[in-house]
Amino acid sequence: MECPAPRASPIHWSMHLRILGAAVVSALALAGGAHAAGGNYVFAGGSATERAQVVQALDASAFPWGLVPQTITIHIGHGLDSDAIPGHVFVDADLLDSGRFAWATVQHEYAHEVDYFLFTDQMRAQMQALLKAGSWWGEAGDTHESRGCERFASTLAWAYWQSDGNSLKPQGPDDEAGAVSPAKFRAALTAVLGSAGLASVPATPVRTLAASPRPAAKPRSRASRKG
């Protein structure tokens, strides 16, 4: 689903929260402290295994998610569109059940929180030009990959986790994460945010991870990712 502007229709945001209803309140009441190593977040819903996939996804990235000042609530549920609004990330439990295939989507959705809480309109304009996007939030009829906010989220996911297992790895310049090289993107983002934490990221941020078995269920294709 398209990324809504921070001041965009609250109807877009509230429709997601209504999906979870009382279950969210219950899950938040049981949630532990916010995770800090790979970001500051709490969970609402999801099994222990599904939550672990989110943690592994964020930890696999070299991006310092803790730069986001807000504690993010990550909602997990079967049939949810993977999406993000300010302060909330929504992830389909069925996608998480596919294992590592889901990691890029988790990173993509959390990257929207970087946009929501750290970017100014001037910063967005700079990144929009870099990513060769027609607009940031998109207009009616725009494709998912043409929106600057989506190109930003996908390129961040790829630039800070350059793994063959990353489902957002671009195959060419027309792909959502392919408009600019990872090195150029990281340099631009470091300059825009002026963050020492970003400046210390390795030139080729690839983390070696232990192999994990793939489930029997067929993972979703990239085209099925909504957020």
Q: Which two tokens stand for residue 227?
A: 């957020």
Residues 103 and 54: their CA atoms lie apart, in Å, by 7
| Predicted model pTM | 0.77
pLDDT at 183 over 50: yes
Residue-level pLDDT at 219: 32
Pairing of strands 88-92, 41-44: unpaired
pLDDT, greater one: 35 or 102: 102
> Across 81-95, 126-140, 181-195, which has the greatest mean pLDDT?
81-95
**Contact present, 104 and 56 (Cβ < 8 Å):** no
Residue 80 in this model has a pLDDT that exceeds 50: yes
